[in-house]
Structures are given as structure tokens and as C-alpha cells.
Amino acid sequence: MNPKKTLMIVDDHPLFREGLKSIISRNSDLEIVGETGTGQEALRLAEKFKPDMVVMDITLPDINGIDLTRNIKELSPLTRILIVSVHSKIDYITAAFQAGATGYVVKDAPSGKILQALELVARGEYYLDASVSFQVVKKLSEFPEQKAKTTDPVYSSLTTREQEIFRLLAEGVKIKDIAQQLYISPKTAENHKTNIMSKLNLHSTLDLLRYAVKLGIIDVEHWKG
């Protein structure tokens, strides 16, 4: 007999967690090992249990579910994550999958669809409602390859997220807009900028732009004058 898949629920609405538990109870192969309504507690539980699956919302009181997905995957790379959220916009869905989610269901989906998503994600498959899957694939295909045009070892020392923010800064995107685009807080975006400037030994926006031109990330015409 195969062991049960362990599962954790992260949602700040107790009533919705109860509803999820009722749905999950229909699958005898799944075992809930923890539940919480905050991102910080979710990280603690994820590190403790290393669950096979996490079912969670995007909107949490302390950490948004997209950042939390990325953080949990760093703590427990084999954990599969199913997002169950009120957000149905394509940008949220693509961001969730890019962060490492394995499935995405909107909260008003029938319980049978949520159960189907749970079963597929538990088996290691991806799940996405067919009505939006084409749009998501199209959106994902629009993202440019996130690689520098140089082998500069200093630039390579930046994390993937720092490189992403570096590019946005070089393109003149403001911190608050970067935060909104990447679904992180302005404070987190500002901290990333500080780390980037420190690692690259840059002291001003002009230094950053010059370095970006050197890398070939932006054209000199982008900031001339």
C-alpha cells in the first residue's frame, strides 16, 4: 500500500480552510499535516514537514502567495504547490507558475474541479483550467530569455530575482512599479536594489545604466541625453 501524500493548507480564511479540508477528505491518499493563515507560519511548517503538497491562496496578511511559493520551493524543492485563489487574471496565474506552482484553481470552482486538481498535482502533473490554459501559454511565451549578453562574473553573482530587478531598473521602471509587477512589497524591492548596487559596486542610477549598457542589456540610446 502506497503511503499517503502529505499536504498543508495556507489560507487566512478559517471557513475556507474547513471547506478545503472537507474536499481533501474525499481523497484517502491525502493526509493534512498542517494548516495556517499566514505566510511566516507556512514557511515554518514547510521547513518542518517538507510536505508533498501545499494548497494556498495568493492573498495573505504578511507574504503574498506568489512570493511564498518561491520561498517554499527553496526550502523544499520537491513540494508541489496548488494555488486556490479568487484572482483569475492571467498575470497572477503566469506569475504563480513562474514562481514554481504546479496547479492553479479559482476559488469559485466547483469542489469536483478542486478535487481533480488535488489529485493531478499529487501525482506530479500540472493542473490549469482548460478555459484559460491557452492564454497562459501565450503570456508565458512573451517573456524574453532572462540571460545577460555577457559572462561578467560579477553580474552572474546576482540571484535570478536580482537580475530581473536589475533589468527593470535599467529600463527606468520605478521601485513601486517593480514591486507591483513582481508581486512583492516596495520594501522588498528596495532591499533588492540595495543588494544589487552593493554587489555590483554601483553608487548611482547613472552607474547602473552605464553597467547595463556594458552588459548589452539595454542600448545606449535608451538613456542618452
Residue by residue, DSSP assigns 1-22 as -PPPEEEEEE-S-HHHHHHHHH
Q: Residue 181 and residue 163: Cα distance in Å, rounded?
A: 15
C-beta of residue 57 within 8 angstroms of C-beta of residue 12? yes
Rounded to 5°, the CA angle 31-33-111 comes to: 50
CATH no. of 153-216: 1.10.10.10
Q: Is 68 left (phi over 0), alpha (psi -120 to 50) or beta?
A: alpha
The H or E element spanning position 103 is strand 103-106
Helices 186-200 and 205-215: angle between axes, nearest 10 degrees: 70
Amino acid 133: pLDDT: 56
pTM: 0.61
Q: Hey, where are the domains in the chain?
A: 5-141, 153-216
Residues 40-55 have pLDDT tens digits of 999 999 999 999 999 9
Q: What region, left, alpha or beta, does residue 152 occupy, with left being phi > 0 and alpha being psi -120 to 50 degrees?
A: beta
Whether residue 213 is predicted with pLDDT greater than 70 in this model: the reply is yes
Q: Indicate the residue type of 131.
A: S
pLDDT in the model for residue 151 = 52
Q: pLDDT tens for residues 127-181?
A: 886 555 555 555 554 544 444 444 577 888 888 888 889 988 888 888 998 888 8
Does residue 143 or residue 73 have the better pLDDT? 73
CATH fold group of domain 5-141: Rossmann fold (3.40.50)
Q: Which of 158-167, 194-203, 211-220 has the lowest mean pLDDT?
A: 211-220
What stretches of the chain show up as alpha helix (H) in DSSP?
A: 14-24, 39-49, 65-75, 90-99, 111-122, 130-141, 153-156, 160-170, 175-182, 186-200, 205-215
Confidence of residue 118 (pLDDT cuts 50, 70, 90): very high
Mean pLDDT of the chain: 84
Instruction: Identify the top-confidence range among 105-109, 142-146, 192-196.
Output: 192-196
Give the CA angle between residues 122, 123, 127 to the nearest 5°.
75
For residues 212 and 37, the model is more confident at 37
Q: Report pLDDT for 221.
A: 47
